[in-house]
């Protein structure tokens, strides 16, 4: 393995750096994008039972105890419970966009590595073939050792670029799908918060109107 790396010469340095970057991002995003860590069951249950309770402080307290993207979105809606529902909707949408940005953070790095690594390998191939033709031009076909060194450089860098690029592309698509599913869940529960708060406002308006009619 070490001999193959040495055969790739200088282009193995950026390819190796790209692999380390991709591995670091992959591990970090796997840790961050754990659905059970983000879609906390306790908060989900509190959202489901919001319509059955007139006290929003319980749900808010649960969000305070379990901070994170889910709690931030729910609290953003609960903070605006006294405002008109369009305002609540806009606040929830903005909170959701902010959390979605955080969830998809650094995924672009994986996509870049997946795209750049094969190109670095191709560049190594071109440089290796340039060395081969330079050797042929200078010494003819009588130096097979130098020629084989250039060909090895060309082949090794191509293989290394693909070995890094293909898993990086797979990891990017997998993590993007995981992030999209979590974002979908956040949108689902934020819609529940909005529907609940809107229903409460409608009920309060009806009660107020009924009270005024009874007094009249």
User: How far is CA 215 from each of CA 20, 121, 210, 211, 212, rounded to the nearest angstrom?
Assistant: 74, 82, 9, 6, 5
6 found inside a domain: no
Q: Please tell me the least confidently modeled range out of 81-90, 115-124, 157-166.
A: 81-90
Between vectors from CA 182 to CA 78 and to CA 111, what angle results, nearest 5°?
A: 130
Cα gap 161→19, rounded to integer Å: 9
The pLDDT score that the predictor gives to residue 165 is 92
Task: Write out pLDDT tens, residues 129-168.
Answer: 777 666 666 665 555 655 565 566 667 888 888 999 999 9
Residue closest to 157 by CA, chosen among 4, 3, 1: 4
30 found inside a domain: no
Looking at every residue in the chain, the average pLDDT score rounds to 80
Task: Write out pLDDT tens, residues 43-72.
Answer: 888 888 876 666 677 888 888 888 888 889
Mean pLDDT of 9-24: 85
Q: DSSP code of 186?
A: H
Cα gap 11→207, rounded to integer Å: 74
| Number of other residues whose CB lies within 10 A of the CB of residue 138 | 9
Structural domain including 115 reads 38-204
Total structural domains within the chain: 1
117 found inside a domain: yes
62 found inside a domain: yes
């Amino acid at each position: 393995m070490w001999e193959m790396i040495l055969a790739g010469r200088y282009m193995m340095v950026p390819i190796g750096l790209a692999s380390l970057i991709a591995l670091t991002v992959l591990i970090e995003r796997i840790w961050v994008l754990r659905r059970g860590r983000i879609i906390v069951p306790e908060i989900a249950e509190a959202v489901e039972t919001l319509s059955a309770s007139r006290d929003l402080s319980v749900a808010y307290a649960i969000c305070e105890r379990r901070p994170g993207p889910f709690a931030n979105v729910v609290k953003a809606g609960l903070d605006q419970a006294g405002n008109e529902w369009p305002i609540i909707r806009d606040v929830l949408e903005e909170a959701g966009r902010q959390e979605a940005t955080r969830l998809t953070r650094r995924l672009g790095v994986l996509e870049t590595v997946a795209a750049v690594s094969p190109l670095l390998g191709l560049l190594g191939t071109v440089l290796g073939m340039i060395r081969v033709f330079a050797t042929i031009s200078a010494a003819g076909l009588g130096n097979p050792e130098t020629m084989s060194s250039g060909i090895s450089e060309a082949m090794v860098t191509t293989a290394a670029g693909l070995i890094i690029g293909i898993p990086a592309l797979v990891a990017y698509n997998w993590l993007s799908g995981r992030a999209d599913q979590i974002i979908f869940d956040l949108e689902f529960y934020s819609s529940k918060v909005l529907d609940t708060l809107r229903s409460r406002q409608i009920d309060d308006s009806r009660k107020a109107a009924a009270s005024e009619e009874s007094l009249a």
